[in-house]
Structure formats: structure tokens, C-alpha cells
Amino acid sequence: MANIQNNHISIRSRLRLVSLVVGLVFILMAISLYKNSSNVRTSINHAVVDSVDTIVNNSQSSRDFGLLNVRLNVFKNTFYLDNNWFEAESKGLQRDIESLKAATHSPDLRSLLSQLQEQFTVYQERRSWVNYLLFWRSEQDQEIGAIALLVQDIIDEKIANLRIVGAATGDLSDLRVLLSGYRVSLLEMAKLNAEENPIHLLSTSIDAPIPLTDELHSLITQLQPLTMAAPPVDRLSTHLVDHFHYYQYLMKQYLAEMVRLGELNQNLDQLSARILTSMEQLDRQTVVTVENVRGEVNNLTLSAVTTILILLFLVTLITWIFLKNLFNKHIQSPLEMVSARLQQFEEGDHRSLMQLERYDEWNNIETGFNRMLSSLEKSVVALKGSEKHYKGLHSNMKEGIFRATLSGKIIDLNPAAVSILGFDSLFEGLHHLNDVGKKLFVDPQARQQMAVLLSEEKALVNHEVEVSRQKGGTFWVSLYSRLIYDETGTAIGAEGVITDITSRKAAQDSLQQLQSYLQNIIDSMPFILIGVNADLEVTLWNKRAEQENILSAAEVKGRSLEQVCQLFKSTVYMLALEETLRTKKPVRLLKVESLKKGKDGRSRYFDILIYPLSLAGEVGAVIHLDDVTERSRLE
């Protein structure tokens, strides 16, 4: 009883129940996965955020220090006399170092940046003093140039005064030449000052030669004669010599300061290198941190994937157990019973009913199969009746029925076809007609022509062909044939109906001979005969009509009489013709003058006889035209 109630549950309901259970399991699994993924996501977020912050800070610090280092190198290698630029750039570098210290989280790096800041402060003080020395050198160059120009102006003025009074200018001219040479040397020294690169002095020692020492000593020596000249040249020259001695002192101080500045440069470079090394260590630590984070993420991911796989395995196992039980009990077992019954049906058992003893969807299959058996039995009975009827038609038809292959071999004939073709039995006919092109058709090309027509038209209707009879002689048949196709639409043969038309063919030949005989009689008549239908279209036109109108029968047939008749105006005969067609009584017109003249140029006359004609329900008329010209002339 419980089993019957269980079978009453449909397979769809069972599948719905299984789907519900699987859905609940998936919901539980989804909740578990959500919690697990939330924990994994939180852990990954913390690890990633920490590592990203570290990477971003280190990258920003490296980028900022790189810019600071470049700016510091530019500052160290640039010597300007512009104090405004120097002060602004110094303050900017101090701000950058302070900002970098504030943004750095590493104690070691912050300590190195503090040392860099202290060293840069000392370096800034030395650079200020070097800038002052360069400024003083520039002022000395200007003052020396101005004094030299003043001395030359004084000498030139004295020479001009002596020339005015006619006195000798020998000593002054010598001093002028000497001063010109001095100015040339002064220009060369100014050129050396302009070409001097202070950066080269940063790497020299304190014992190195003082720049411009030889040039300044040479200039002092050249100025000695001027110090013994007449006033005020002597005082100005002595003042120039004092300036050059002071210039030598400035150059000595300049060299000493540049050497000290070079030492500070080296200290700054060493600190920068240590800072870069510290940042590289931070980068390596960052790489290690990233690797650790990656390992942690991989472990968390592996844990999550393992949990998911375990849950999926459990769900798959549970689903498989449910589906296997459902499949075995409600699909496989009934399917085997159905397969066994179908096997019995294939072996010929068309009467036994299918008994699955189920009340679900299989019951529909059982009912449908049993209903099909009942319908099949009725169909078999009807089919046998149809087969008997078809065989009766096939055997009793007077027309021959045939079936042939595409190669021309006859494979079936009905009794009428066997008789028409002159065979005593079907076996004899099939055995003999293995090639209709050679053994049936009188014309060997007839089969090939039929094959071409069949391929083009797909069917032959009333196709007449002459064939040989087995017992001797030939006769004419009319064929109706069409192609036979298989399931794929490929032509595999032809079938059709064959009718003996020998008698009809003979009658047609006799009728054609009679028509030809009558046409010869009509054409041999000495008068004109013209036939028209109810629409006054030409249906008959004998030889005499062709001669008089210079138009052949083929040219005028079907055309209007009014268009082709050249002997008379249409008004002459049209009323009489219409009256004949209407009253169906003959009408005669005597001595009607023709439009066409005789050879001598004289008028011609015709008697016109119009009589009605009716054939197979069609109305028409025959026009008889008799040339009465000679008779009219005699009268």
C-alpha cells in the first residue's frame, strides 16, 4: 500500500523535492562560504592595506629624496653672485629635508636626515662666505679697470698738452705703451676669471697653487715703472699695486674656502649615499613584507578554497546519492521494462499490453503505448485493405504501369504493361528489359532524350515514342513518367504509365493526310477562298489569295481581314460579312470593282459570295471571290 502511494508521486514532484533539498544545502554552503570569505577578506584587507601603506610611504620617500638629492647636487655645483637665489634655494632645501624627516617612519633614516640637515647648515655658511669672496673679486676687477682707465686718460691728457706747446713726449709715450700692455694683461686675467670653473677647486688640496698668482705678480711688475712717474700717475699706480696685493690675498682666502667647501661636499655626498643605502634597505624590507603578505594571502586563499572544495564535495555526494536513487528507481527500472516491451514489439508481439504498474509520468507512456497498439491493429487492417485495393488497381488497370532505374532497367510491370509490350509473363519482361535504350525504344537516342527531359522538367506528360514489341513489330506509346526520390531528395529511378496509342496515331496520320488533301484541293481552285472567324481573323487563305495579296497563309493567319485584304476597301464587304455572321445566311455581291488593276491598267471585277460556317460551336464565314473581269467586258 505504501509502495502504491509512493508511486503516485510524480517524477516532477520528486525532482522538485530533490531540487529543494539541494537548494537548502547550497544555501547553507553559501552562508558558510560568506562567513569564511568575510574573514578572509578582512584579513587580506588588513594585510594589503598595511603593505600598501608601507610601499607607498617608502616609494614617496625614495622619490622625494631623489628629487632632494638632484636639487642638492645642482645647488652644490652652481656658483652665483645672486644672493636672493642663494637664500631662496637654501631655504627650499631646508624645507625639503624637514618634510622628508617628518614623513619618514624609520628612526635610522630620520637620524641620517638630521645629520644631513646639520651638515647642510654648515655647508650653507661656507657657501655664503665663498659667495662674498666672489663678490669682492668682482668688485676688485671693476675698481682695477676703472683706475687703469683713469691713469690712461691722465697720460693721454698730458701727451696732448705737451704736443700743443711743442714739447717732447718721449717718457709719457713709453708709459702709455707700458699701460697698454698692462691693460692687455688685465684683459687676459679677466678672461681667465670668466673661464674659471669653481667646481674644480672643490677637489684640490690646501697646498695647491693659488689661482692667478703668476698673472697678478706679472701685473705688479709691469706697474712698477708707473709708480715712479710724475704725480698723480705715481699715486694711482701705487694704488693699483695695492689692489693687486689685496687681490692676491682674496685669491688665497678663496682657495682655502673652496678646499673646506669641497670637504663639506664630500660629507654631504657620504650622507646622501648612506641615506640611499638606508632607503634601499627599506625597499628590501618592503619586498620581504610584500612576500609575507603574499604568503599570508595564499594561505588564506588556500584555506578558503579547501573549505569550498570540501563543501562542494559534500553537496556533490549528497546530490549524487539522491539522483542515483531517483534515477535507478524511477527512470532506469521503468526504462528497462519499456525497452524489454519494445524489443518484444520489434520481434513481432503486437498484441501484449505494456504493464509498468506505475502512476506517475510513466503511466502516460504505458497508456500511450497501449493506445498505439489498438490504433496500430486498426491501421494494419486498413493497410491490408488498401494494399488489396492497390494491388487490384495495379493488376486490373488497362494502362501499363512501370518502374525503372536511372540506368534504364525495368524493375516492375503491371499485367497491362506486360501485355502491351508483348511478353507472356512478368518474369520474361523483367528479364528482357534490362536496358530499355537498346531493347525497347526503336530510336536508340530516345532514352537519352527522355532522361534529359526528366532531369529538366521532373516529369513527362503525353510523351510519344515508338517502341518494339517482343513478339515482333513496332508500335507507338504515350508515356507519363516522373522521377522517384529517396529520403535525402536524391533521384533513384522513374515510374509512370504507358498507353498504346497505335490506333490513335494511325487516325492522326489519316486525318493529317486528309487535311493535306483538302488543302491541295483548295489551293488548286482558280478562285480566291478566305476563311474568317467571328472576330474577323483570317483562318483560311488559299494559293490564289496569296498571289493576289502577296502575303503567305502563314503571314496572315490570325490577323484581321481588314489588315491583309488588299483587293477591296473594307467598306465594300464588311457590312455583308457582318450580316452573314449575324443571320447565318449567304450574301452575294456582284461585279465589285477591285482596288488592284489588271496588267493593262484596266479595272478588275469580282463576284463575292459570303456564306456562313459553323463547326464545333464556333461561328465563322467563307468568302468566295471569283474574277469576272472578262465576263463583264464581254457583257
Name the nearest CA neighbour of 562 among 573, 551, 546, 547.
573
DSSP 176-189: HHHHHHHHHHHHHH
Is residue 59 scored above 60 in pLDDT?
yes
20 vs 617, which has greater pLDDT? Answer: 20
Phi first, then psi, for residue 54 (nearest 5°) are -60, -45
The C-alpha cell of 431 is what?
528479364
Q: Is the dihedral of CA 24, 30, 33, 35 positive or negative?
A: negative
pLDDT-derived band at 1, boundaries 50, 70, 90: very low
Overall pTM > 0.75 = no
The percentage of the chain sitting over the pLDDT mark of 70, rounded to a whole number, equals 79
Inter-residue contact 462 to 450 (CB < 8 Å) = no
285 vs 563, which has greater pLDDT? Answer: 563
Domain 525-634 in the same topology as domain 69-287: no
DSSP strand pairing (587-593 vs 605-615)? antiparallel
Q: What is the mean pLDDT of residues 54-82?
A: 66
Summarised one tens digit per residue, pLDDT across range 322-345 is 777 877 777 778 788 888 878 877
394 vs 246, which has greater pLDDT? Answer: 246
Is residue 192 scored above 70 in pLDDT?
no
Question: Of 187-201, 588-602, 605-619, where does mean pLDDT reach its minimum?
Answer: 187-201
Is residue 361 scored above 80 in pLDDT?
no
pLDDT at residue 4, rounded to an integer: 45
The C-alpha cell of 10 is what?
510524480
pLDDT-derived band at 386, boundaries 50, 70, 90: low
pLDDT at residue 527, rounded to an integer: 80
Q: What is the mean pLDDT of residues 570-582?
A: 84
Cα–Cα distance, 290 to 605 (Å, whole number): 131
Average pLDDT, the chain: 76
Cα–Cα distance, 128 to 79 (Å, whole number): 10
Whether cis (ω within 30° of 0) applies to the bond prior to 209 is: no
Summarised one tens digit per residue, pLDDT across range 345-355 is 787 777 777 77
Other beta carbons within 10 angstroms of residue 229's beta carbon come to: 22
Find the helix or strand (DSSP H, E) in which 593 lies: strand 587-593
pLDDT-derived band at 248, boundaries 50, 70, 90: confident
Inter-residue contact 483 to 476 (CB < 8 Å) = no
pLDDT at residue 206, rounded to an integer: 63
Is residue 210 scored above 70 in pLDDT?
no
On the CB side of 152, how many CA atoms lie within 13 Å of its CA? 15
Is residue 599 scored above 60 in pLDDT?
yes
Q: What is the mean pLDDT of residues 157-168?
A: 73
Which residue shows C-alpha cell 478588275?
604
Q: What is the mean pLDDT of residues 537-562?
A: 84
pLDDT-derived band at 8, boundaries 50, 70, 90: low
Cα–Cα distance, 547 to 624 (Å, whole number): 15
If DSSP states are collapsed to H, E and C, what string results for 263-277?
Answer: HHHHHHHHHHHHHHH
Q: What is the mean pLDDT of residues 241-268?
A: 74
DSSP 316-372: HHHHHHHHHHHHIIIIIHHHHHHHHHHHHHHTT--SSPP-----SHHHHHHHHHHHH
The architecture of the domain spanning 69-287 is Up-down Bundle (1.20)
Name the nearest CA neighbour of 198 among 243, 137, 269, 145.
137
529 vs 334, which has greater pLDDT? Answer: 529
Name the nearest CA neighbour of 240 among 120, 336, 148.
148
Summarised one tens digit per residue, pLDDT across range 486-506 is 888 888 888 888 888 887 877
pLDDT at residue 2, rounded to an integer: 43
pLDDT at residue 312, rounded to an integer: 78
Phi first, then psi, for residue 617 (nearest 5°) are 80, -5
Name the nearest CA neighbour of 358 among 9, 16, 15.
9
Q: What is the mean pLDDT of residues 438-445?
A: 78
Domain 397-508 matching CATH 2.30.30.180: the answer reads no
Question: Of 21-35, 56-70, 367-381, 449-463, where does mean pLDDT reach its minimum?
Answer: 56-70
- Domain residue spans in the chain? 69-287, 397-508, 525-634
The C-alpha cell of 285 is what?
624590507
Domain 525-634 matching CATH 3.90.1150.10: the answer reads no
Cα–Cα distance, 416 to 402 (Å, whole number): 10
With b for 16 or more beta-carbon neighbours within 10 A and e for fewer, the 190-203 pattern comes to eeeeeeeeeeebbe
Is residue 125 scored above 80 in pLDDT?
no
Q: Which range is most confident: 292-306, 310-324, 360-374, 591-605?
A: 591-605
Spell out the long-range contacts of 162-170 with Cβ–Cβ below 8 A and sequence spacing 24 or more.
none
